[in-house]
Structure 1
Amino acid sequence: MLNEFWATASTAYKVLVFSAMGLIALGIVLNVVGNSTGNQALALASLPVIGLGLILHLAGLVVRGQAIRKNLKR
């Protein structure tokens, strides 16, 4: 089951994973651009974006853990 988890993963899990990766990447890009141009406001604004991405990542871990537990009980 663990080898084929992505193929059998729920849509909610896949959305959480891709949203988390996208937000973290966007936050990193904003941070690099903000620091490169000396725009402190943009660099600081990127931190909540990265934080939201990390929270979504943790939510994805919870969804995955629940799915695995549910399948192991069967």
Structure 2
Amino acid sequence: MLEQFWATAPTSYKVLVFGAMGLIAAGIILSIVGNTSGNQGLALASLPLIGVGLLLHVAGLVVRGQKIRKDYRK
């Protein structure tokens, strides 16, 4: 069951995972650009994006855990 989780994963989990990856990637890119160009405001603006991405990642783990728990009860 776990090796095929992505195929049977709920849409909410997939949205959370891709949203988290996108926000973390955008935050990392902003951080790199801000730090290499010396733009401290841009570098600081990247931190909330990374933080929200991490929170979405944790929310995805919760959704996945609930789905697995529900499947085991069946």
Task: Tell me if TM exceeds 0.5.
Answer: yes
User: C-alpha distance in 2, partners of 1:13/1:19?
Assistant: 10
User: What is the correspondence of 1:41-52 to structure 2 with a 5 Å cutoff?
Assistant: 41-52=41-52
Identity score, percent: 72
Give the equivalent residue in structure 1 for 2:55: 55
Offset, 1:47: 0.2
User: C-alpha distance in 1, partners of 2:47/2:8?
Assistant: 33
Offset, 1:35: 0.2
Q: Which runs of 4+ in 1 moved over 4 A?
A: none
Give the equivalent residue in structure 2 for 1:8: 8
Cα RMSD between the aligned structures? 0.2
- Segments of structure 1 that go 5 or more residues without pairing to the other structure are none
Q: TM-score, normalised by structure 1?
A: 0.99
User: C-alpha distance in 1, partners of 2:67/2:56?
Assistant: 16
